[in-house]
Amino acid sequence: MRDKVAIRRALISVSDKTGLIELATALSKAGVAIVSTGSTAKQIAAAGIAVSEVSEVTGFPESLDGRVKTLHPAIHGGLLADLRLDSHVEQLESLGIEPFELVVVNLYPFVETVSSGAGFDESVEQIDIGGPAMVRASAKNHANVAIVVSPERYPAIIEAIEDGGTDLELRKQLALEAFSHTANYDAAVSSWLAGQLGSERLSLGFTKSGDLRYGENSHQAASLFVDGNTGVASAKLLGGKEMSYNNFVDIDAAVRAAYDFSEPAVAIIKHANPCGVAIAEPRAEDPIISAYIRAHLTDPVSAFGGVVAANREVTAEFAASLSQVFTEVIAAPSFSPEALEILSKKKNLRILELSGDYKLPSREIRQISGGLLVQEPDSFEGLDVSAWKLVSGKPASPALMADLEFAWRASRAVKSNAILLAKDLAAVGIGMGQVNRLDSCHLAIQRAGDRAAGSVAASDAFFPFADGLEVLISGGISAVVQPGGSVRDEEVIQAAEKAGITMYFTGERHFYH
């Protein structure tokens, strides 16, 4: 293969115009002939840079509303010709086709269009055809052509221009990025269409964001891959050390727990389990600091070294309070300038700013040996507490029902078997991850201590026996919410009635393994 390839002719057709003019300017100064399409050509020309339209090269106008413009031998011959072969060089000359040494293409914004809620026809129109064909052709012919699919690579190309051309190693790297780009694009289209048609096919497209120091343990290698959607994986690190594998796992759980609530809420997570969850007091002057303080009081010992997520902007008061506790990560949709200044002084604290509006993924995927498990996410969309069935005691007052709903929402984030005690819209005791529900009940009461008296309890699944509920009753709880559905429901109901406590059945569970 040829090592250094001088750039004499470039083809540019981009949806993302970031850095376009800077690149085109560098190419023009180096005497590179630029060929372009549609809006890309117009923007280059408007900057006073010489550019030829693709139609001038093909002798054929763009047609069918732009669907056909680069699909032509005069273009693809210039992309695919292997100039190491005399026969290819001779054929280009006989056909009057000039080769390209640089191709800059990124594709129609299909993923963004679908994410915006666009309809079927509008989404289909954003499926790029000519773009992937040019990208793949150029990547295949990387011995002769440098293919660029991201503005992030423009500086490397500008440097190569100044250095006399692209070297083989760079072109190989660009080819890999190009094939990954089209693979992810096709996977996004395939996955979306499968969802539309109910197909039994699943295509996944992820791009490596970077390597992590190690995985769950120091002897395990690990990397981060992203799918282009908003979420923890694409959050912006504003300060502190790089994120670790465990940091990502924990903060993802924390963000999801905080966003289970529409009210200002804070979740504190340790080893993927909540050790604090709370929403703001109804009339708090600074709601998010109110939520944080109450969440921290759930289990201050376990909160040490945990991660924290808020569903509102972090204020200076919140930051000042948080900075007094050793915390690995803080994630929020935004940070006030004063809060960021305070938190940035904690060198080991990772500060994550969530990008875009947080929402649950459309599906959850878990790898098992030989395959994948795929499910819809567990959410509270359409939750209607008025549909709960009162099976024991008096109907809950509005305040008591608010606590029961809070406990029910918060229990989703707790690993099964899960029992969560709450009072005044804050968790006060959590029993999690036990292999029987009785132990989870004991643990929740133990951790709540004196605060168990008068609290409400949520169980993520039914009580298989009355013994677990009896432990909670002995601890002083005043009401319970649980799915119901056990063959011994009547036994459990009788225990609740004997104690005179209110109990509701929801008809659905919230296992979290």
What pLDDT was estimated at residue 129? 80
Residue type present at position 24:
A
What three-state secondary structure class fits 147?
Answer: strand
Distance CA 344, CA 238 (A): 8
* pLDDT at residue 1 is higher than 60: no
Residue found under tokens 């809070």: 406
Residue tagged active-site, from 72, 172, 241, 271:
271
Angle between helices 73-80 and 130-140 (to 10 degrees): 30
| Tens digits of residue pLDDT in 294-308 | 999 999 999 999 999
Per CATH, 9-197 and 387-505 having the same topology is answered no
Pairing status of strand 265-270 against strand 273-279: antiparallel
Is-catalytic flag, 219?
Answer: no
Please check the confidence at residue 317 and state whether its pLDDT lies above 90.
yes
The region of weakest confidence among 150-159, 307-316, 480-489 is 150-159
Architecture of the domain whose range is 9-197: 3-Layer(aba) Sandwich (3.40)
CB count, 10 Å around CB of 383? Answer: 14
CA distances from 93 to 5, 32, 78, 415 (A): 19, 20, 11, 68
Closest CA to 104 of 146, 75, 50, 164: 146
Among residues 408, 415, 356, 422, which one has the least CA distance to residue 380?
408
pLDDT of 196 over the 90 cut: no
Sign of the alpha-carbon torsion through 117, 123, 126, 127: positive
* Strand 389-392 to 222-226 pairing: unpaired
Phi, psi (rounded to 5 degrees) for 75: -90, -55
Q: Phi, psi at residue 182, to the nearest 5°? A: -70, -35
Is the confidence at residue 64, as pLDDT, over 80?
Answer: no
Catalytic: 76? Answer: no
Higher pLDDT, 354 or 108: 354
Q: What is the mean pLDDT of residues 146-166?
A: 90
Q: What angle, rounded to 10 degrees, do the helices at 86-95 and 73-80 form?
A: 160
| Contact in structure between 486 and 466 (CB atoms under 8 Å) | no
Longest dimension (CA), the chain: 97
**CA gap 158, 166 in Å, rounded:** 10
Q: Is the pLDDT of residue 354 over 60?
A: yes
The pLDDT assigned to 299 comes to: 95
Helix H or strand E encompassing 133: helix 130-140
pLDDT tens digits for range 115-130: 777 788 888 877 778 8
What kind of fold does domain 387-505 have according to CATH?
Cytidine Deaminase; domain 2 (3.40.140)
Query: In this predicted structure, what is the pLDDT of residue 311?
Result: 95
**Contact (Cβ atoms closer than 8 angstroms) between residue 328 and residue 250:** yes
- What lies within 8 Å, CB to CB, of 12 at 6+ separation is 20, 23, 24, 34, 35, 36, 40, 44, 103, 104, 105
Q: What is the pLDDT of residues 443-497, one digit of tens each?
A: 999 999 999 999 999 999 999 999 999 999 999 999 999 999 999 999 999 999 9
The domain segmentation of the chain, as residue ranges, is: 9-197, 231-353, 387-505
With contact defined as beta carbons under 8 Å apart, do 422 and 455 qualify? yes
**pLDDT tens by residue, 384-422:** 999 999 999 999 999 999 999 999 999 999 999 999 999
Averaged pLDDT, 89-101: 85
Q: d(Cα 438, Cα 419) in Å, to the nearest integer?
A: 9
pLDDT of residue 65: 67
How many C-alpha atoms does 249 have within 13 Å on its Cβ side? Answer: 13
% of the chain with per-residue pLDDT over 70: 98
Residue 499 CA to residue 228 CA, distance in Å, equals 53
**b/e per residue 352-365 (b: at least 16 CB within 10 A):** bbbeeebeeeeeee
Q: 231-353 belongs to which homologous superfamily?
A: AICAR transformylase, duplication domain (3.40.140.20)
- As a whole number of angstroms, the distance between CA 327 and CA 304 comes to 6
Residue holding tokens 């024991």?
A: 392
CA–CA separation, 428 vs 448, rounded Å? 5
Tokens of 233: 């994986």
Is the pLDDT reported for residue 430 higher than 70?
Answer: yes
- Name the residue type at position 42: K
Residue type, 227: D
- Of the listed 140, 172, 241, 346, which one is catalytic? 140
User: Rounded mean pLDDT of the chain?
Assistant: 90
Confidence of residue 41 (pLDDT cuts 50, 70, 90): confident
